[in-house]
Structure formats: C-alpha cells, structure tokens
Amino acid sequence: MAEWKLDAGQILGWIEACLDLGITSFDHADIYGGYTVEALFGQALALRPALRQRMQLVSKCGIRLQHPNRPAHALKSYDTSAAHVRASVEASLRALGTDYLDLLLIHRPDALMDPDELAAAFSALRAEGKVRHFGVSNHGTGPFHAIHRRIPLVTHQIEFSPLQMRALADGTLDQATDLGLRPMIWSPLGGGRVFTGEDEQARRVRAALEAVGHAHGVSVATAAYAWILRHPSRPVPITGTGRVEALREAVKALDVKVSAEQWWSVWQASMGHPVP
C-alpha cells in the first residue's frame, strides 16, 4: 500500500485478516509513503514476529525520489547501480525488521542500467541470503529479457485492468505466458475508475462488468478481478486496499470462471469496438 493512516496495532489486525483470507504476499516499495511505509509495516510485524514465517515480503527499489527523507536526492531519477540496489535492500530489511526479502523488484526501467552489474548485485544479495528471488516492475520486454538472460527473474509487475490493456498489445503478457512467469498486476481496478469513472470508457466497462457479475452472482470488483485472472499468464493481482471487505471481494474471484465470450465482452467495452 502506498500509505498508512493506521497505528501499528491496527496494521497488525489488517495483516492478520489478510493471512486469514489466504493472502500471504505483501507488496512494498522503498519510496511508498515518502520512505515510511515499510517501517510502519515492520513496527506492526514486530508485535507478532512469528507471522513472518507465514508471509512473503516483496519490495521494489530503483527510484531515487526527491523527498525530505532522502535529502541527498537532488532530483527524481532512476538508479539501478549495484551500490544503490544494495543500499536500498539494506534499508528495506532494517525498516521491515526482517533478515531477507522474498522478492525484490526493480521499480522502473533505468536508461543507464548495466544488466551485467545488476545481475552481479542480484547474485551477491542472493548468496548472502538477503533476497531470495528477483523481478522487475513496469519494464518493456527488451529490458526484461536483458536481465532475465543473465539471472532468472520470477515475475514482472505491470499495470493491467479492464481499463488499461496496454500489456495485451505490447507483448508484456505474451512474454510472461511464454516464459511461464506469473505477472503481478497493479491497479487492477483502474485506480477505482471501474466504480466511479464517468468517462465513456469507464461507463462501458462498468456495464460490461456488471453483466458478468450478475451472471456469476458477484460484485463488479470481483468480476474485474476474475476477468484479469482469466488470462493464461495466470496473473497475480495486487489489491492495494486496507478494507477487509474489499479483500474478500478479491479472493472470491478465485472461484469465478469467466467464459471467453464474457472476457471478450469486457475487452470490447474497453476498446469501444468489436475485435477486427
């Protein structure tokens, strides 16, 4: 989650609710909340350290955000140097109060990335037991391949929703399917536009999702998650919500099988035209 407005006890309660629902992966980034969210999560986890064994902690690095908590950053930029990646990992470990990350992602593609240097940094962090697996976020297929052929990546975190289908056209989801690497999906509900958007695309998509939801007896949110899950790359949506009821809606999508025709009806609504 990008920010927290809860105290440690409340966050702990949310963590426990997630685990009870079978949600065990928690997606972070060093920059979230102006470099504060990981520490808040860590404070909550410190109240029940044994929960660490029941979860997977994910973090992202590579963005140098201009923020009072990082006064050395003169401007917002990207940095995938070995020194920055290592420093970011060490900071995340301290903030989260853990000895290792289950997964580390490079947050954004860096035009100055040296894939050999980055792969060597990944290998060293793995050998030291500080990071178990690696991936990227928001990369093109080329940069993904440049890293993956040097050191195996396990996922690609991308934006994908019934309102944002770029990943269907640019080869990103095709690459994930081909490699058998399940993509992580951020903003699966279009930042809430599937519920509140008043533009023509949002209204068309909402109507299509309502029809799918009615056919399966589920909410629009559950229908949207189920639509994403229908893709053969076997996506893993990131909910990004602090509401337990919204988490239940997401989990319910695991039991909904969207038909191919229903899937294409949502695609058509989003595109505004039938398939060619």
- CB 32: neighbour CB atoms within 10 A? 20
Average pLDDT of the segment spanning 147-168? 98
Is the predicted pLDDT of residue 1 greater than 70, yes or no? no
Is the predicted pLDDT of residue 2 greater than 60, yes or no? no
Give catalytic status of residue 32 as yes or no: yes
Distance, in Å, from the CA atom of 83 to the CA atom of 76, rounded to the nearest integer, reads 17
- Mean pLDDT over the full length of the chain: 97
Q: Provide the pLDDT for residue 216.
A: 98
Cβ atoms of residues 175 and 143 within 8 Å: no
Distance, in Å, from the CA atom of 25 to the CA atom of 250, rounded to the nearest integer, reads 14
Q: Provide the pLDDT for residue 165.
A: 97
Q: Provide the pLDDT for residue 3.
A: 56
63-64 and 184-186 beta bridge pairing: unpaired
Q: Provide the pLDDT for residue 158.
A: 98
Q: pLDDT tens digit string along 28-76?
A: 999 999 999 999 999 999 999 999 999 999 999 999 999 999 999 999 9
What's the pLDDT band for 212 if we cut at 50, 70, 90? Answer: very high
Average pLDDT of the segment spanning 170-197? 97
Q: Provide the pLDDT for residue 240.
A: 87
Q: Provide the pLDDT for residue 5.
A: 73
Residue 62, Ramachandran bin (φ over 0: left; ψ between -120 and 50: alpha; else beta): left
Q: pLDDT tens digit string along 97-142?
A: 999 999 999 999 999 999 999 999 999 999 999 999 999 999 999 9
| Percentage of the residues of the chain whose pLDDT score is greater than 90 | 97
The single residue of 32, 78, 100, 225 carrying the catalytic annotation is 32
Q: Where are the domains of the chain?
A: 156-163+189-234+241-276
Q: Provide the pLDDT for residue 215.
A: 98
Cβ atoms of residues 141 and 172 within 8 Å: yes
Residue 244, both tokens: 């337990």
